[in-house]
Amino acid sequence: MDFFMKYLLTILIFFPTASIFLLLPINKKNESLLRNLSTFLSLVEFIISYYLFVYFKPDTYKFQFVEKFNWIPSFGASYFLGIDGVSLFLILLTTLLTFVSLLSSYRYIKEHVKEFVILMLLLETFMLGTFAALDILLFYLFWEFMLIPMYFIIGMWGTGRRIYSAVKFVLYTLAGSLIMLFGLIYIFIMHYNQTGNFTFNLLRLYHTNIPAGLQILLFIALFLGFAVKVPIFPFHTWLPDAHTEAPTAGSVILAGVLLKFGVYGFFRFAIPLLPTAALILAPFVIVIGVVGILYGAFVSIVQRDLKRLVAFSSVSHMGFIMLGLFALSAISVNGAVIQLLNHGIDTGALFLFVGMIYERMHTRQIKDLGGIAKKAPILTTLFLISVLASVGLPGLNGFIGEFLILIGSFRYYPVLTIIAASGIIFAAVYLLWMFQRVMFDESATSPHSSEHHAEIFEDMNLREIVTVLPLIILMFLMGFYPAPFLDRIGPTVLHFISMINHHKIVYNAIKIKAGLSNA
């Protein structure tokens, strides 16, 4: 038990990789065993991650479950892991959504099942590693490795223009990441120049002194890497393609976890490493965040492809999160972190339902869908709950995050917050309108294409209910009783804010001094 607790993070990260060796000897024809075993293993992985939650001490901002070993001493690279209140929940989200995705793929993934489940488990390792790494070299490796399994998942099991979408996704992110890498290495070298030590240790790099002008340039470099992942308008155009063409599991992981890395990157790297630049540039980031909220919502309203609509809604939702994070108030950052989780849960669930509808109707065109509510009451009810969570209906999780973001940001950016808040109107428009057309109205087009399918539309089976049930439960839990989440996120966020405020004071003092000397 001691060993288990001491190396919990390592065990967690590499358990999926290790479990691949269990799957390798299985004959690739034995698809049901492959599916069941991989799903079971991902459930075990989720249970392991639950131990993090149980043993996580909620009253401190300090990193917990820390593991540190020398890796490449001459470069100062180390195997350095640890989590705080923010990465804790992102890790739990990752393990949960991987389980959910594997469970959701029983019907959709029919070919190369073995390759698929192996890639999913491999992806899980890389995602978890990225969230737990506190060494920037280690972080970067995990970060880039993530692209490989995702590339294959979209490219091999996707639909339509899947190769185009997969390549676009990889090139887009890679371009951003390389610029980000340049920025990170530059900071690494500056730290060496100041201290004479090579280190990739993030916590030490936090103390690098970087002049404000240079900080801005470096921030822009890091910004490009993270902004593509978020994605922030106008770096978002890979997302509708990748989401739409990816298989359901791929969309769930993309929306649920991969998009989180952008925001996580800002929270863990860009802002604490370059606080002065973050303070100076925050208003600009917020402006494009708010533009993204409205832009994503507007474009969602006129989408004709169901999945593309949900994809664009992510652009809008992520805009809210960027607003909350860069408003840099304790309330809004708490809201941003909560909303990060909410978005993973709600949008993940929406993609699951879109997948179920697609599997039955073989179309995602909204005009060809309709009349499902009559045939499938369970699907209708659970889908509606997810839609309402995404709309931000109070009592469900989306509301808490949005409300905290807006009420926290209002103090510093009243006008932009009001503009952002109008997004809640448009969210209701595109989601409820979509729901009505897909579930209630009879389809507008030819009877033989869709109504034929609607006639035999079967309701959710037990496996599908089990797939979405954890997400539905979380929607209610986080809506009615968010305390277990907020209590653990709170200290981390408070520390983050006090760090920024400290820099604010220093920065203002410098400005005043400069002002005085000029006078």
CA 504 to chain centre: 29
Closest distance between other proteins and the C-beta of residue 164, in Å? Answer: 10
Residues 147-186 within binding reach of other proteins (CB under 8 A): 168, 171-172
Where in 357-386 is the site for other proteins (CB under 8 A)? Answer: 373-374
Residue 72 pairs with which residues in a beta bridge? 77
Residue of 428, 451, 296 lying closest to 374 (CA atoms): 451
Taking the least distance from each CB to other proteins, the nearer of 168 and 453 is 168
Minimum distance, C-beta of residue 436 to other proteins, in the bound complex (Å): 5
Considering only residues 396 to 455 of the shown chain, the ones binding other proteins according to CB under 8 A are 399-400, 403-404, 406-408, 410-411, 414, 417-418, 421-422, 424-425, 428-429, 432-433, 436, 439-442
Q: How far is the CB of 498 from other proteins (least distance, A)?
A: 11
Q: Which one among 1, 24, 54, 302 touches other proteins, defined by CB under 8 A?
A: 302
Write b or e for each residue in 349-358: b if 16 or more Cβ atoms lie within 10 A of its Cβ, otherwise e: bbbbbbbbbb
CB atoms inside a 10 Å sphere around CB 486: 19
From CA 176, how far away is CA 476, in angstroms rounded?
Answer: 36
The residue among 16 and 262 lying less far from other proteins, judged by its C-beta, is 262
The span from the CA of 249 to the CA of 276, in Å, is 39
Q: Which of 76, 272, 319, 482 binds other proteins (CB under 8 A)?
A: 482
Q: Are 227 and 285 in contact (CB under 8 A)?
A: no
Per-residue x/- track, 240-279, other proteins (CB under 8 A): ----------------------------------------
Structure tokens at 53: 């939650």
Confirm or reject binding of residue 195 to other proteins (CB under 8 A).
no
Which of 19, 125, 329, 492 is in the footprint of other proteins by CB under 8 A? Answer: 329
Q: Which is nearer to other proteins, 407 or 465 (CB)?
A: 407
CB nearer other proteins, residue 5 or residue 483: 483
Nearer to other proteins, 157 or 267 (CB): 267
Dist. CA 96–CA 208, nearest whole Å: 36
Residue 234 or 283: the one with the smaller Cβ distance to other proteins is 234
Angle CA(271)–CA(212)–CA(138) in degrees, nearest 5?
40
Show Cβ contacts of residue 271 under 8 Å, excluding neighbours closer than 6 positions. Answer: 278, 325, 496, 500
Contact with other proteins (CB under 8 A) among 160, 213, 283, 395: 395
The DSSP secondary structure of 459-485, one letter per residue, reads: ---HHHHHHHHHHHHHHHHHHH--HHH
- What residues contact 196, with CB distance under 8 A and at least 6 apart? none
Could you list the residues that contact other proteins (CB under 8 A)?
168, 171-172, 234, 236-238, 295, 298-299, 301-303, 329-331, 334-335, 373-374, 388, 393-395, 399-400, 403-404, 406-408, 410-411, 414, 417-418, 421-422, 424-425, 428-429, 432-433, 436, 439-442, 481-483, 486-487, 490, 493-494
